[in-house]
Amino acid sequence: MRHLHQCVPQGLSVLGDSPVILDLLAFLVLAVTAVVSAIAALVVRELVHTIIWVALFFVTLAGFYFLVSAPFLGVLQLGVYAGAVTILLLFGVMVTRKRIFAREAATGLGPAPIALALLIVVVLATAASTIPASTTQITEYPVSALSYTLFNQYGAWLLLLGLVMLPALAGAIYLVREGRE
């Protein structure tokens, strides 16, 4: 997005009326895509379709990271969440259910969870309106410091987390597989 800014003038006239900044336009497109994909993931009836909507939501979050000039976090979001977590969810669903595209694998929400979600959104919006606006602008962050902290200081904990999650996944597959006695 930053390279596009260098090629196009700062304010781009749309329909000859008002200047639209490309960052704002990209943010609005990403925001609408994120909200629509999150809502679709909640209300869709098929489990595989839910996972696909969640994957689209993860990709839009990566777009937000790229938009705020955090490419390291954007690539991590794409690789870890949009890639690995989505594949893991699809793999887990396909291993545990034989008729994955059938109606018996249906998900979806009733009116009570949707009402609760709307209540939470209203409470968060009210709380966010009371937070004072910050005037400090962050221009960059040291990627080397982030990676050093993540992989040196907390590297053993990340490895331990992976080792704990592996038997948990195997146990979940064992518990939900069909035909067990």
Distance CA 179, CA 33 (A): 40
167-179: b (≥16 Cβ within 10 Å) or e? eeeeeeeeeeeee
H or E segment to which residue 14 belongs: strand 12-14
For residue 32, the model assigns a pLDDT of 95
For residue 69, the model assigns a pLDDT of 83
pTM reported for the whole predicted model: 0.59
C-beta separation of 66 from 1 below 8 A: yes
CATH code for the structural domain at 2-128: 1.20.120.1200
Q: Show me where the domains of the chain are located.
A: 2-128, 140-181
Q: Is the dihedral of CA 66, 71, 77, 83 positive or negative?
A: positive
For residue 158, the model assigns a pLDDT of 76
For residue 105, the model assigns a pLDDT of 46
For residue 7, the model assigns a pLDDT of 52
Consecutive 10-residue averages of pLDDT for the chain (181 residues): 50 54 89 92 83 91 89 86 82 66 54 82 87 71 76 79 76 65 49
